[in-house]
Structure 1
Amino acid sequence: MSDFQTSKSTFLKKVVAIIEDNLADEHFGVTELADSISMSRSNLLRKVKQETGESVSVLIRNVRLHNAKQLLKDDTLTVSEISYQVGFSSTSYFTKCFRELYGYTPGEAGSRAKLEQEQEAAEEAQPTSQDKRNMTWPLIISSLAIVAVMLFFYFDKQKPVQNNLSKSIAVLPFKNDSADSTNIYFMNGLMEAILDNFQKIEDIKVTSRTTVEKYRGIAKTIPELSKELNVSYFIEGSGQKIGNEILLTIQLIEAPSDKHLWSKRYKREINDVFELQSEVAKSIAGEINAIITPAERERIEKIPTNNLVAYDHYLKGKALLDDETGEGLREGLAEFKKAIQEDGQFAQAYAYIAISYYYLDLYQTEQKYTEDLKSYADKAMELDSALGESLIARSLYYMQTRDFNKAIDSFEEVLEYYPNVAWVHNFLSNIYGLILPDTEKYLTHALQGIRVAVAGQDSATASYTYLHLSNALAQSGFINEAETYIKKSLEYNPDNLYSQYLYVYIKMARDFDLVRTKKELLEVLAQDTTRVDIIQEVAKVCYTMKDYKEAWQYYDRFIKLKEALQLDIYQSEDIKIGYVLEQLGRKEEAKRYYNSYLKYAENDQSMYRDLSLSAYYATMGDTDKAMDHLKAFSEQDNYQYWIVLFLDKDPIIPQMTDHPDYQKVMKKIKDKFWAKHKEIRVMLEKKDVIQPLKGDL
């Protein structure tokens, strides 16, 4: 048993032992480990994450590196030999990983080991106290001098000559040189495929396609773009498709100086399109000294289909999906189906059919495509379970069927393959923020999403990830910090109405001024009077103010819009609607909403089930039963600050005020929230992503 296993759990010791048994096999990864330990991949990912705080792939890599460190003590082996012995086929990648983990290169490991051995030998000699006083400083000074000289010569000879530019790039929209405008989809597809290949290389930071697309047709210099996008390199491309030939010119430009570093003109047969995409990515990575791991190289070189007619339909489908109006969704779906008619083994096309069905059903009262979504997602996974699109399709199926625990596992697996995808963190943030509330996990994914979204310079995604972070902080009671990040969200996208009305509530949390809150919400609503979510927020504020007549005006609009759009959202509002109708004397109508709400509350999977049932029985006048459920809710943890803030101001819950246990239970709910708030504060202050928190309410 290696030192790596010391003080670890029985499970982790077993995992490490299996990894060490397969150390030299560079292809031994997460899937192979899961098979060896007889666990599902998702359960393995979750268990290792719980025990180590790291992903399985990181654990495997660290076990390899730990064993390499031990082998490096033997100066009869070269660094290259050791890298192969521990499962690294690339010595340069091995060196990079080793330096990142230990802070020095494998070449330095031998001299460090000798120094440690000399120090241990000196300690074993055990000189007298007087000897120690006489000898310690000369020995230390002498040893340091020798090491300094060694390191000077080592770094002087080994340090490569390179510039100080970061490995950050933006792929500018390719120009279609053909007079045939119908070829634009092909050139855009070629650009996106090359950009996707760069995104598979962890050593390169890539600006998102949506951000760069905004610069299509805008006349700005490279230095100007560099300043706006904060990247070191730009890639420009132009070309055309003529019959069965592709002509493509690619240029690599050093951004700050506008210096052309590299260019190449390609003339290839259409049959070589995938090789062309791979070659461009690998060539440019080499030019900027980016390291490509063996696994990354394999992903870059993977050919999605051997049928070029199928690939052509696939590119047309992708182009239609990119239509921001959403009108191209069904047309894109038809193109993907044509692709699989041409190639029944085309996993990416199956995955995109499933993804399209998910978005066709999104928020709809009647979900028509669940079985289709499952069928195509299953087929994509069957054909290629290591494909990002396949994993995403499966995750969306679990979202569709509201199997949120499986959705979490599946999205975590997507992140195992593609850790730098902000929208996946946003999906997980939504689950932990709204569906299966867990404030700490909500904050964690919001913070991780910020890293990748901002690094990618995607303004829209960055705005939403800052929105998630602000909301997570507000839900945890950190109102000052929430205001800081909601302002950042609005800086990235001032038109983000979600951020606008969250900001209204953040300000309200300080003084609970509902009159001002309603006024500001109406200002947000005026920008888009069809926003169902904002209409119900205005209605909710009027309800809290006990202005039931005005509350009904907005709830009536809310109901009609929901029905017109066939939306299955905001079922939790039914109790407020019922209560408002009852206060207006419309008791028969109120019953219908109360019954609908009871069905919703009884099927609620979240921690708020008992709180929902407490509210229902309070409206029914059954105070004892309402209090029983409120007590049950008080045993929960990780609930949102908005619950604490509104609980005793809601017109329904205070109907239990006369119950002898009411005050005690309400105090318990608030005390538990603030105790959890303190725990989260410690967690946040340990994160290097944000500054230590300065205060709270």
Structure 2
Amino acid sequence: WKIASYFSFVVIVALIVLNIIPRTNNKKDILDKSIAVLPFTYLSDELDKQYLADGTMDEILLNLSKVEDLRVMSKTSVEQYRNTDKTITEICGELDVAYLLEGSFLKNGNQVRLIVQLIQPGMEGHAWSKKYDRNWQDIFSVQSEIAQLVANELQAVITPEEKKRIDEIPTEDLNAYEYYLLGKNRLNYHEKDADLWRAIDYFQQAINIDPAFALAYSALANAYYRLTISALLSPGEAYPKVSEYSQKALELNEELAYTHCLLGIVKLSYEYDYSGAEKEYMRALEIDPKSDEAHTYYARLHFLFRRTDEAIVHIDRALELDPHFFWAKLLKSELHFSADSINEAIRLLEELRNSYPYIPATYWVSAVFYTHLGRYEEALSMLDTQLALMGDDNISDEIGLQGFIYGRLDQKDEALKQQARLDELSLKGYYVSPRTRVWIYLGLDNLDEAFAVLEKAYIDHSIDPVSFILYFYPIESLQSDPRFKDYLQKIGLNN
């Protein structure tokens, strides 16, 4: 009877495999539900209206990202293809997606025209192309409709909750919406420091028109965060505003994942409230499990507490969601360096310099690594390249690291000159953290002065704990001083 039962089982399984389970060569089952939304073009020579096309593209991309069953490339990954000469096949291959969405936009008075094409490489023509001639008042419903049409074409399942989120209207006032789009444009494509301040002005005008506009508060919080990382405001000036506007945004709409990330940044970098930061990052991922940014921020927190395995899991997930996410790749190199996987860290950085030769941060991290390895000439070379890319931007950390290297090379006069360079930057209106002078004093083995300025940095809230552990912890003279343990306890890292 055992043989008969076994034979019956095999027959049943065979029938299931052959007749009930769909064949693996069925196109519907092997369909890759991945897409990139390319930058939209504006259908006129009015360059000052491009922000409308960009805003429409952003909203459609955001709506697609709300569908769990889709893999959607981030805005940062697709921006490189603005005005590109590359073919559809080349772009899809580089982004590893099955579909592209292209679009063009025009607004004339209260009338808008939106043309979108869904494209699949290897097919003749488009998967589909649609033209919308609508009133400006209908822009939100059009954005929602396009996202759902695309998802349906890719045979993605949209849950009722996802549909509800896609259909949400950000504001009832289109004047507020236009100011919001203007602010986003300045924030995303700023070339001068003044652009960040102008973005803040636009977001504030949007809020003045519609005080219930949650996304405008969130964007305003993000703008103040950009001001502090650009050293245009001190942490004490910027972070309380980031916190205030983030909390206001979440009061109006609690389901804003990136806004939770912003609050997490404040709690980690300014308040040293690590459990609070973790709650915010976890909530962000609960709202949007596909947020590559939330995974990366959470990985930084895991790293801080030496939870390296968990950090790598989140970094790998971020890169699975977006293989071209630069900041996740950079953090991965830092994690490997901290875990003494030196060769892998250096290899990853070499890849980044080859792939993103125009991003200064790659050279900064390379310089720090080479410094800790005692390869000072290579570190100085990396800093030279970085400084050439940054131009007139705030370069206080880079100057500080140069001072450290000169000190270690017994070039004391050259090291002390960097103090004067920091003073000059401060006179130009940049915020120069006391942290930057720590490098110079450590290079000169002046530990008393190093701890004195570390104390000022603590008072200033300008010590980011993750960066502190990455960049300063490996310095032997600092680590072996009894005051260092006390300092770690001050910023909540006594364990």
What TM-score, normalized to structure 2? 0.82
Match of 1:368 among 237, 258, 262: 237
- Conserved? CA contact 1:169–1:233, under 8 Å: yes
Match of 2:288 among 418, 424, 438: 418
The percent identity for this pair of structures is: 26
* Distance in 1 separating the partners of 2:71 and 2:464: 39
Q: Hey, what does 1:355 align to over in structure 2?
A: 222
- SS of structure 2 residue aligned to 1:567: coil
Aligned partner letter, 1:488: E
- Conserved? CA contact 1:514–1:541, under 8 Å: no
Structure 1 residues 577 and 440, CA gap change in structure 2 (3 angstroms)? same
Deviations 1:594-644 (A, max 9, x none): 544456579999999xxx9xxxxxxxxxxxxxxxxxxxxxxxxxx779856
Match of 1:205 among 71, 83, 97: 71
More deviation, 386-395/331-340: 386-395
Match of 1:469 among 316, 332, 340: 332
Q: Hey, what does 2:353 align to over in structure 1?
A: 490
Aligned partner letter, 1:147: V
- Conserved? CA contact 1:249–1:265, under 8 Å: yes
Aligned partner letter, 1:331: R
Q: Hey, what does 1:247 align to over in structure 2?
A: 113
Structure 1 residues 355 and 153, CA gap change in structure 2 (3 angstroms)? same
* Distance in 2 separating the partners of 1:313 and 1:606: 34
Q: Hey, what does 1:407 align to over in structure 2?
A: 277
Aligned partner letter, 2:195: G
Q: Hey, what does 2:318 align to over in structure 1?
A: 452
Structure 1 residues 410 and 150, CA gap change in structure 2 (3 angstroms)? closer
Structure 1 residues 378 and 289, CA gap change in structure 2 (3 angstroms)? same
- SS of structure 2 residue aligned to 1:239: strand
- Conserved? CA contact 1:539–1:552, under 8 Å: yes
- SS of structure 2 residue aligned to 1:219: coil
2:204 equivalent to 1:341: no
Match of 2:414 among 526, 550, 554: 550
Structure 1 residues 492 and 137, CA gap change in structure 2 (3 angstroms)? farther
* Distance in 2 separating the partners of 1:593 and 1:159: 65
- Conserved? CA contact 2:260–2:280, under 8 Å: yes
- SS of structure 2 residue aligned to 1:328: helix
Aligned partner letter, 1:162: K
Deviations 1:344-396 (A, max 9, x none): 21111122222223333444347335554444333222211123354345335
Task: Give the alignment of 1:87-486 within 5 angstroms.
Answer: 135-155=1-21, 161-162=27-28, 164-178=30-44, 180-257=46-123, 259-325=125-191, 326-362=193-229, 363=231, 364-365=233-234, 367-388=236-257, 390-398=259-267, 401-405=270-274, 406-431=276-301, 437-441=304-308, 444-445=310-311, 447-453=313-319, 455-456=321-322, 458=324, 462-486=325-349
Task: Give the alignment of 1:47-62 within 5 angstroms.
Answer: none
Structure 1 residues 642 and 189, CA gap change in structure 2 (3 angstroms)? closer
More deviation, 317-326/528-537: 528-537
Structure 1 residues 245 and 579, CA gap change in structure 2 (3 angstroms)? closer
Structure 1 residues 447 and 551, CA gap change in structure 2 (3 angstroms)? farther
- SS of structure 1 residue aligned to 2:115: strand
- SS of structure 2 residue aligned to 1:162: helix
- SS of structure 2 residue aligned to 1:236: strand
Structure 1 residues 338 and 218, CA gap change in structure 2 (3 angstroms)? same
Aligned partner letter, 2:204: K
* Distance in 1 separating the partners of 2:269 and 2:58: 28
2:401 equivalent to 1:537: yes
Structure 1 residues 384 and 149, CA gap change in structure 2 (3 angstroms)? same
* Distance in 1 separating the partners of 2:410 and 2:182: 54
- Cα shift at 1:416: 1.6
* Distance in 2 separating the partners of 1:537 and 1:239: 47
**Residues matched between the structures, number:** 474
Q: Hey, what does 1:27 align to over in structure 2?
A: none
- Cα shift at 1:286: 0.5
- Cα shift at 1:653: 7.4
- SS of structure 1 residue aligned to 2:281: helix
- Conserved? CA contact 1:249–1:263, under 8 Å: yes
- SS of structure 2 residue aligned to 1:268: strand
- Cα shift at 1:480: 2.2
Q: Hey, what does 1:32 align to over in structure 2?
A: none
Structure 1 residues 521 and 237, CA gap change in structure 2 (3 angstroms)? closer
- Conserved? CA contact 1:552–1:577, under 8 Å: no
- Cα shift at 1:195: 0.9
- Conserved? CA contact 1:321–1:329, under 8 Å: yes
- Conserved? CA contact 1:477–1:641, under 8 Å: no
Task: Give the alignment of 1:638-677 within 5 angstroms.
Answer: 643=473, 646-647=475-476, 650=477
* Distance in 2 separating the partners of 1:641 and 1:503: 11
Aligned partner letter, 1:542: Y
- Conserved? CA contact 1:313–1:335, under 8 Å: yes
Aligned partner letter, 1:416: E
More deviation, 287-296/156-165: 156-165
Aligned partner letter, 2:216: A
Task: Give the alignment of 1:558-569 within 5 angstroms.
Answer: 558-561=422-425, 564-569=428-433
Structure 1 residues 485 and 267, CA gap change in structure 2 (3 angstroms)? same
- Cα shift at 1:554: 3.3
Q: Hey, what does 2:492 align to over in structure 1?
A: none
- SS of structure 1 residue aligned to 2:119: strand
Deviations 1:436-457 (A, max 9, x none): x32325x634552344346435
Aligned partner letter, 2:332: L
Structure showing greater relative contact order (alpha-carbon pairs closer than 8 Å, 6 or more residues apart): 2
- SS of structure 1 residue aligned to 2:54: helix
Structure 1 residues 167 and 393, CA gap change in structure 2 (3 angstroms)? same
* Distance in 2 separating the partners of 1:392 and 1:493: 25
Structure 1 residues 375 and 366, CA gap change in structure 2 (3 angstroms)? closer
What TM-score, normalized to structure 1? 0.60
Q: Which runs of 5+ in 1 are unaligned?
A: 1-134, 583-589, 613-638, 657-697
- Conserved? CA contact 2:114–2:132, under 8 Å: yes
Name which one, 1 or 2, has greater alpha-carbon Rg.
1
Deviations 1:107-147 (A, max 9, x none): xxxxxxxxxxxxxxxxxxxxxxxxxxxx5445323322233
Aligned partner letter, 2:344: E
- SS of structure 1 residue aligned to 2:307: helix
Q: Which runs of 5+ in 2 are unaligned?
A: 483-495
- Cα shift at 1:299: 0.9
Note the aligned Cα RMSD (angstroms): 3.8
- Cα shift at 1:248: 1.8
Deviations 1:513-558 (A, max 9, x none): 5454455455445635763223222322333345433332334434
- Cα shift at 1:323: 1.9
Aligned partner letter, 1:218: T
- Conserved? CA contact 1:223–1:257, under 8 Å: no
Structure 1 residues 166 and 603, CA gap change in structure 2 (3 angstroms)? same
- Cα shift at 1:414: 1.3
- Conserved? CA contact 1:351–1:380, under 8 Å: yes
Aligned partner letter, 2:343: N
